[in-house]
Amino acid sequence: MMSTYNISKMNKDAQMRATINQKLIETGERERLKELLRAKLIECGWKDQLKAHCKDVIKEKGLEHVTVDDLVAEITPKGRGSWGTDRLGRKRNEVDVKTKTSTLVPDSVKKELLQRIRTFLAQHASL
């Protein structure tokens, strides 16, 4: 059972996320961040890897047996990255067995986006 404190904290967190999101939209920063992410994902080959994976899925299952929903279900975990745990229960990044590459967005891309968001928050500290 959740305590009143936990529910209140969850509500405050949700309220803060909504306020930040609204400010990102109002200032146009959200669109700039999305465009930066698109460019970085193309630059690092992420988009090409997912496209190749789509083609592999279609070849494997046959074009007449694959729906858009099937592709989305196959590609989403790879695109977003999937996490597993090792035998000691620690989180680890799963690696694609065929390509031997990480299924996650490169750390450099995440770090750059995070830094941009931190800078934005620092400039809008009155949130």
Domain ranges for the chain, please list them.
31-81+103-126
Give the predicted TM-score (pTM) of the model. 0.66
Q: How high is the pLDDT of residue 78?
A: 81
Give the residue-averaged pLDDT of 71-85: 73
How many Å from the N-terminal Cα to the C-terminal Cα in the chain?
A: 31
Over residues 19-77, the pLDDT tens digits come to 999 999 999 999 999 999 999 999 999 999 899 989 999 999 999 999 999 899 888 88
CB within 8 Å of 93: residues ≥ 6 apart: 81, 83, 102, 103, 104
> Which percentage of the chain shows pLDDT scores above 90?
52
Asked: is 31-81+103-126 a CATH 1.20.120.350 domain? The reply is: no
